[in-house]
Amino acid sequence: MAERGKIAVTGASGLVGSELVPTLRRNGFEVLRLVRRAPSADDEVRWDPSAGTIDTEGLRGITGAIHLAGDNVASGRWTQAKKARIRDSRVRGTALLARALAQLSPKPRVLVSASAIGYYGTRGEEALDERAAQGSGFLASVCAEWEDAATPARDAGIRVVNPRIGVVLAARGGALAKMKMPFQLGVGGRIGDGSQYMSWITLEDLVSALVFALECDELDGAVNFVSPTPVTNADFTATLGRVLQRPTVLSIPKFALRLGVGSDMANEMLIGGARVIPASLHAHGFRWEHTTLEPALRSLL
């Protein structure tokens, strides 16, 4: 057993997981990856969230779990079938994992089960800490069900943290890769009037916060995983333009976005926004590497 414990990770191949797994290992954790195919290495255990099967025996000895798996929210149009995949992959996958962890003996001490700031919906300028009520819309209802699905683990006495993750900024992939392209072509611009808030976190800080959540015994329930300085879309646009040294005079009309990606996705992911405050991480002494946007973008780009 590694000195800091053995951690099961789902969604290990994704943007966050592929940075998290090597970071855990460098920091003295042993990692067990849950994979949705036949295992091909000693550190892999099989699960199939769509079929509802998981190798519970293979999880024996874990001290914690970080659950990141879910159908990608930002790729492809939100058809009814895509929405069902987004919801079912999260709700069923979380319930399956939570039930398996609850059956283990000894039980792991902690389950860090991802959620998102989509929980808060679109909220204008309201500052939203963890006590803020659920918002409305598709993502808000998915996030609420996704968080609730971890209840079997909580009922078994496992500490459950639900990180409500903001927009993850990474050097490669994720939201920044999508946003960067029009700027590089010289057609970057704010969305609508640019007043909607964007609550961001760098991938490096997100991974540190996930590790922090494993070990900070006081952290429990929903926790906002964002930087301390959310910005408006207009500020984000101006800052990204400055960092890339590209013009940002254009404004992208809302109707064009609705036509381009469909109205639900445009309204909830691009036109709407939420000003989310990391009150709980702050209160428990988490230290961010990137607290303000411009230095964060400069380090990433």
Yes or no: say if 118 and 143 are a contact pair by the CB < 8 Å rule.
yes
Q: Does 89 contact ligand NAP by CB under 6 A?
A: yes
Interatomic CA distance for residues 108 and 218, integer angstroms: 16
Tokens of 59: 């999880």
- Cβ-based nearer residue to ligand NAP, 94 or 248: 94
Interatomic CA distance for residues 179 and 124, integer angstroms: 21
Cβ 26 to ligand NAP shortest distance, Å: 19
Q: Is 38 exposed, middle or buried (0-12, 13-18, 19+ CB in 10 A)?
A: exposed
Among 24, 62, 68, 210, which residue interacts with ligand NAP (rule: CB under 6 A)? 68
- Cβ-based nearer residue to ligand NAP, 13 or 251: 13
Virtual torsion, Cα 167, 171, 172, 176, nearest 10 deg: 40
Q: Does 278 contact ligand NAP by CB under 6 A?
A: no
Binding mask 143-172 for ligand NAP (x = CB under 6 A): ----------------------x-xx----
- Residues in contact with ligand NAP, counted by CB under 6 A, come to a total of 26
Which residues, including other chains, have CB under 8 Å from residue 109's CB and lie 6 or more apart?
A: 63, 64, 158, 159
- Cβ-based nearer residue to ligand NAP, 207 or 219: 207
Q: Beta strand 231-232 with 250-252: parallel, antiparallel or unpaired?
A: unpaired
Stretch that binds ligand NAP, among 12-20, 100-108, 208-216, 283-291 (CB under 6 A): 12-20
**Using CB under 6 A as the criterion, which residues of the chain lie in contact with ligand NAP when the complex forms?**
11-17, 35-36, 49, 68-73, 85, 89, 93, 114, 116, 165, 167-168, 174-175
